[in-house]
Structure 1
Amino acid sequence: MSLRESDPVILDVGQFYDVLEAHLEESFGKRHPLWVRGEITKVYEKGHLYLDLAGSLRSDGKRPTLNAHCWTSVWGRLKASLAAEGVRLSEGAVVSVHGFVDLYAPSGRIGFTVTGLDLNGLVGDLARRRAELIQRLGAEGLLEAQRARVLSPVPLRVGLVASPGTEGYNDFTGQLLTSRYGFDVRLVRSLVQGDEAPAQIVRALQQLGDENCDVICVVRGGGSRADLACFDDERVARAIATLSTPVWTGIGHTGDESVADLVAHTRAITPTKLGEELVTRVREAELRGVLQPAGALLTGASAVLEEAETTLAERRRTLVYAVRDRLRGESRHLNGVRERLVVESRRVLDGARRDLETRRQLLGAYDPARRFAQGWAVVVGESGRAVTSTTEVAVGEPLRVRVGDGAFGVVVSERDDA
């Protein structure tokens, strides 16, 4: 192909873009804005907002893509409106944007400057996707799975998914610290808002699921709907529902329950209330397992002691009366014995006295002195033995004769045997 004199004027690239820009401005420029609808396939924010919107499949099986952007001057206002409704622009959301076409000649790219969003459509799409998620979880039995988990009677080993230093974290842990119970809190740090929060929350839950906790608590203080959007994330909901450890949620919000709340074992409207509920469970366990049995034991022991004291008092009275009666009886017996002993002693002494007198008289009759007075004498040989027979002496033998008033010696001059 070659140029001829009759061919149109040849345009420079710059001139071409000028012409193209003029046509685009005439049909789709600032003075002719339009609505475009598509699915967000990529979104990020660097002061300005950048997002890629994909359309429906074409006949060639490919999806057309539109590079859109929203400048800070507009994005600040739109972002505030989205936050007020609890909406975050995320991949997979279908959004209708209002704006105009622009052309960036240096890179040869056609873009779309966003000046507005269909907020009602976004809210409706968010609600639809949330409802579909809840329906899927229900169909899989995951809405009730956590409620079937058996909670420890004394849940003192607490796994905690939270962001330390935040109000929600301080409110929850404050309840445990002032409870006087020995809670063992195992914290795994995690973001609790933003695009990176769901993945961190899932990792934290999985880590605590392997640490033999009695209960895992997920807490976050109050915030806008957008701030709490991570708790409607399907990944978080499934991680909670499939854990074998009971998971409690204390997410500070006053609107609808989050999907995380719906699948949790137990939920509270604030971290403070969740801490109070945990302390209450332990207090009830203490009441059932310690205080009530101790009270019953004390009551029983008091009753036994009271009965024992009554029995002891009765036995003491009985013993006192028995001893007193016994002593009285023994006293009477002793008095009787004493009287009989006195009488018997007198009788024995009288008898002994009479016997002694008789013996004295008898002894008196045989008293040597009396015999001596009657002229009797005692002859004693040289051996010192009394002579009782003539055969015991010999003529010429000296003898000694004792009489009543003394003794004298004699010599046998003659012996006359009978």
Structure 2
Amino acid sequence: MAKNNKNLYDLLVDWRDDRARKENIPESKKYFIFPNSTLKNIAELGPKTAEELIKIKGIGSKKLLQYGNEILSITKDSIIEDFKQPEETMLFSEKRAENNVLSISQLNNRIKQVLNDSFNSGLWIHGELYRYELDVLKADARPYGQVYFELVEQDSATKERKATISAMIWGEERIRINEKLMSLTSGLVLKDGLHIKVKCNVDFYPPQGRVQIRITDIDPEYTIGKMALEKKLILEKLKKSGLLEKNKKIQIPLVPLKIGLITSVGSAAYNDFVDELKKSKYSFSVFVCDARMQGADLETEVRNSIYTLNKQDIDVIAIVRGGGSASDLMGFDKEGVAVAIAKSEKPVLTGIGHQIDRTIADEVSNQSFKTPTATAQFIVEKVHNFEIDYEEIFENILENQKQILINELERLKNISKQVKSATLMFTSKLEGDISQLNEKLKWNIKRIFDNSYRKLEELDRFINSKNPVNILKLGFGLVYGENNKIIKSIKNVIINTDIKVELRDGKLIGSVKSKDVL
């Protein structure tokens, strides 16, 4: 290689290494900008125009757009070329601006130079990640694993967006930053909605006139502090409004067999929860609301699910999800979720699946658990405890009943003894009374009989006194008419009729000749 070419090659190597440092490309990956072989080709050919540069092996349209101006500025004493766009590639224009009138590409290149000079050492900014999760899915298909997204600034009161800037991060930097976050937090990773403070370089892409920041480092303590502050403010607001303890005051039914479940249907959390209920053999009824358990839609879907379940005939609401990073749980620190739980008319249980951190949803719920399985176990245990209590009560009833029967039997035995003793006393007394009564009865009977005999004798005497035979013995007689009927009155006697007179010792027969009425 000629001496001039060697000097140019050294300049190109220095430029590439410096460019790699500015882009935070690792030393081992700086050859992704240009390998040494391509730099040697450039040094040997010394291109002065874009047409010449793109013909060199290893230079494509993408590299030309990205680094063409800088390379040509080295190869031709820093003359900045304009870009043109032929049919398939974009090329630099060789025409200079006339009369101080700049072309768009010249203007953009100057803007780029000003930005590079102003922010050559990088700067720290803070904002909220936006559209990150959507683009990170495409990162593996890109050569350097880079992710394109936005950093936004919101008004703290109205939540309206005040400013936005495009951002990107190289794959290796993304891995390093996530590892840095996770090492200092409970599994926190880059995620939409995360407030971050990052170090970045300001890039300007002349072909599109677009400003973009390239993130190179992060301050995890800022993110942790920001999250803690927001969480503290929401908790204080809930406490001041009386919502922090509101759901805790709702009594969980003794037998919570009707359950409202909020989770992602088909997820591990769903299966763990339902399987635990099935193993219990109790007749649980589960009303499921399918909801996102992470991401931007979590707050809306969980809140709406709580409102829906409050209209159903259920005993308790369970919100469960499987394990995940702290970033995955950010939605459960949202005020909307917390307010919906607090205002729920049904007791709300949370099993969000994080072993270390407690979310605001955990703080405001009736009871919180580490896993979906633990949440289901609590419900099963609640029913099981009622069953045990019921059996104990039933056993106590049986035991008390048995004791009552024993006591009553003993009491009956005592009563029986008392009755027997009283009966003996009564019998003895009764025998005495009967004996006395018998004597009285005998005396009374004798007296009655004596009186009766006397009265009979008197009656007999009276009857005898009235007996016609005895009357006849006294000298009286009985007069009979024609039909042998006793004549009691003279009125019953007819003159010239036959009569018969019965005397004590015989009968007289005669005829009535006349009557003498008294």
Q: TM-score w.r.t. structure 2 length?
A: 0.52
Q: For residues 305-354 of structure 1, give each alpha carbon's deviation from its aligned partner in whole angstroms, at most 9, with x where no partner exists.
A: 66788879x99xx9xxxxxxxxxxxxxxxxxxxxxxxxxxxxxxxxxxxx
Number of residue equivalences: 302
1:277-288 matches, within 5 Å, as 277-288=378-389
* Greater relative contact order (CA < 8 Å, ≥ 6 in sequence): 1
For 2:309, the equivalent position in structure 1 comes to 208
For 1:241, the equivalent position in structure 2 comes to 342
Look up the equivalent residue of 1:46 and give its one-letter code.
Answer: D
* Cα distance in 2 between the residues matched to 1:223 and 1:64: 31
3-state SS of 1:228 partner: helix
For 1:106, the equivalent position in structure 2 comes to 207
* Cα distance in 2 between the residues matched to 1:215 and 1:208: 9
Relative to structure 1, is the Cα distance of residues 158 and 56 closer, same or farther in structure 2, using a 3 angstrom cutoff?
closer
- 1:264 matches 2:365: yes
Alpha carbons 2:129, 2:149 under 8 Å: kept: no
For 1:127, the equivalent position in structure 2 comes to 228
- 1:67 matches 2:130: no
Alpha carbons 1:54, 1:66 under 8 Å: kept: no
For 2:395, the equivalent position in structure 1 comes to 295
Q: For residues 163-212 of structure 1, give each alpha carbon's deviation from its aligned partner in whole angstroms, at most 9, with x where no partner exists.
A: 23333333322322122221111111222222322222222212111112
* Cα distance in 2 between the residues matched to 1:19 and 1:55: 31
Alpha carbons 2:204, 2:211 under 8 Å: kept: yes
Alpha carbons 2:341, 2:365 under 8 Å: kept: yes
* Cα distance in 1 between the residues matched to 2:302 and 2:393: 41
Alpha carbons 2:130, 2:150 under 8 Å: kept: yes
For 2:101, the equivalent position in structure 1 comes to 10
Deviation at 1:156, TM superposition (A): 0.9
Relative to structure 1, is the Cα distance of residues 220 and 287 closer, same or farther in structure 2, using a 3 angstrom cutoff?
same
Q: For residues 75-119 of structure 1, give each alpha carbon's deviation from its aligned partner in whole angstroms, at most 9, with x where no partner exists.
A: 34334444553255444x653221212112233222212222222
1:166-177 matches, within 5 Å, as 166-177=267-278
Pick from 170, 176, 181 the counterpart of residue 77 of structure 1: 176
Relative to structure 1, is the Cα distance of residues 63 and 230 closer, same or farther in structure 2, using a 3 angstrom cutoff?
closer
Relative to structure 1, is the Cα distance of residues 128 and 88 closer, same or farther in structure 2, using a 3 angstrom cutoff?
farther
* Cα distance in 1 between the residues matched to 2:304 and 2:175: 32
Q: For residues 31-61 of structure 1, give each alpha carbon's deviation from its aligned partner in whole angstroms, at most 9, with x where no partner exists.
A: x23224243384434131411344999xxxx
Alpha carbons 2:315, 2:346 under 8 Å: kept: yes
Unaligned stretches of 5+ residues in structure 1: 1-6, 319-418
* Cα distance in 2 between the residues matched to 1:270 and 1:110: 45
Alpha carbons 2:259, 2:285 under 8 Å: kept: yes
For 1:228, the equivalent position in structure 2 comes to 329
1:11-410 matches, within 5 Å, as 11-28=102-119, 32-40=120-128, 42-44=130-132, 45-47=134-136, 48-54=147-153, 65-82=164-181, 85=185, 86=188, 88-91=190-193, 94-288=195-389, 290-303=390-403
Q: For residues 216-245 of structure 1, give each alpha carbon's deviation from its aligned partner in whole angstroms, at most 9, with x where no partner exists.
A: 011122222122222212221111111010
3-state SS of 1:69 partner: strand
Relative to structure 1, is the Cα distance of residues 114 and 88 closer, same or farther in structure 2, using a 3 angstrom cutoff?
closer
Alpha carbons 1:33, 1:99 under 8 Å: kept: no
Relative to structure 1, is the Cα distance of residues 302 and 39 closer, same or farther in structure 2, using a 3 angstrom cutoff?
same
* Cα distance in 2 between the residues matched to 1:303 and 1:95: 73
Relative to structure 1, is the Cα distance of residues 54 and 182 closer, same or farther in structure 2, using a 3 angstrom cutoff?
closer
Deviation at 1:297, TM superposition (A): 3.3
Q: For residues 6-53 of structure 1, give each alpha carbon's deviation from its aligned partner in whole angstroms, at most 9, with x where no partner exists.
A: x9543332223223323322332xxx2322424338443413141134
Relative to structure 1, is the Cα distance of residues 81 and 239 closer, same or farther in structure 2, using a 3 angstrom cutoff?
farther
* Cα distance in 2 between the residues matched to 1:113 and 1:212: 54
Task: Report the RMSD for the aligned CA atoms in angstroms.
Answer: 3.2
Deviation at 1:265, TM superposition (A): 0.6
Q: For residues 284-320 of structure 1, give each alpha carbon's deviation from its aligned partner in whole angstroms, at most 9, with x where no partner exists.
A: 22233x31332133224545666788879x99xx9xx
Alpha carbons 1:159, 1:215 under 8 Å: kept: yes
Relative to structure 1, is the Cα distance of residues 240 and 287 closer, same or farther in structure 2, using a 3 angstrom cutoff?
same
Alpha carbons 1:37, 1:55 under 8 Å: kept: no
Alpha carbons 2:349, 2:368 under 8 Å: kept: yes
Alpha carbons 2:105, 2:207 under 8 Å: kept: no
Relative to structure 1, is the Cα distance of residues 52 and 272 closer, same or farther in structure 2, using a 3 angstrom cutoff?
closer
Alpha carbons 1:248, 1:264 under 8 Å: kept: yes
Look up the equivalent residue of 1:209 and give its one-letter code.
Answer: N
* Cα distance in 1 between the residues matched to 2:109 and 2:342: 58
Look up the equivalent residue of 2:174 and give its one-letter code.
Answer: W
Q: For residues 363-384 of structure 1, give each alpha carbon's deviation from its aligned partner in whole angstroms, at most 9, with x where no partner exists.
A: xxxxxxxxxxxxxxxxxxxxxx
Q: Which deviates further from its counterpart, 141-150 or 265-274?
A: 265-274
3-state SS of 1:131 partner: helix
Look up the equivalent residue of 2:393 and give its one-letter code.
Answer: P
3-state SS of 1:160 partner: strand
3-state SS of 2:273 partner: helix
Alpha carbons 2:262, 2:320 under 8 Å: kept: yes
Relative to structure 1, is the Cα distance of residues 35 and 295 closer, same or farther in structure 2, using a 3 angstrom cutoff?
same
Relative to structure 1, is the Cα distance of residues 56 and 156 closer, same or farther in structure 2, using a 3 angstrom cutoff?
closer
* Cα distance in 2 between the residues matched to 1:218 and 1:66: 36
3-state SS of 1:144 partner: coil
Look up the equivalent residue of 1:50 and give its one-letter code.
Answer: F
